[in-house]
């Protein structure tokens, strides 16, 4: 699992890297600021590799890493909301358990009171 410190460090490296887009060029080079046409071109070199697959990986990392960071942020937000809903639902279940227990063993609130507490068949 990634810590927030690790995620922040990854984000900082991505933000400080040369701006994209990056391309894998001639199989072994990673470039940006590509200009020209298929006969004559100019670019700034970002990296040189020994393997085409490494150049392709590095070139795509410039866009992939920020997308992955955004997805981590989205999923973390959803997880936080779900945790809050779980906590709230768990509290409701404890309240209902207490009301039902009282109803059964102490002849206290009626089923109608429990339904009203839960707003069963309510206006919402």
Q: Give the pLDDT score at 23.
A: 81
For 90, the token pair is: 């768990």
Q: Give the pLDDT score at 74.
A: 97
> What is the chain's pLDDT, residue by residue, as a tens digit (124 residues)?
899 999 999 999 999 998 888 888 877 888 776 666 665 656 778 888 888 999 999 999 999 999 999 999 999 999 999 999 999 999 999 988 887 777 776 665 566 666 676 765 555 5
pTM, rounded to two decimals: 0.67
- Are 22 and 31 contacting, i.e. CB atoms less than 8 angstroms apart? yes
Q: How many angstroms from the chain centroid is the CA of residue 17?
A: 22
Domain borders along the chain are 4-118
């Amino acid at each position: 699992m990634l810590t927030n410190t690790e995620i922040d460090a990854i984000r900082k490296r991505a933000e400080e890297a040369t701006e994209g887009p990056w391309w894998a060029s001639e199989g072994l080079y990673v470039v940006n600021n590509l200009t020209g046409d298929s006969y004559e071109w100019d670019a700034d070199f970002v990296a040189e590799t020994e393997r085409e697959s490494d150049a392709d990986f590095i070139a795509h990392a410039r866009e992939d890493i920020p997308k992955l960071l955004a997805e981590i942020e989205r999923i973390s937000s959803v997880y936080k909301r779900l945790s809050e809903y779980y906590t709230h639902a768990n509290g409701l279940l404890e309240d209902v358990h207490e009301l039902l227990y009282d109803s059964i063993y102490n002849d206290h609130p009626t089923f109608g009171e429990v339904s009203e507490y839960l707003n069963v068949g309510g206006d919402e």
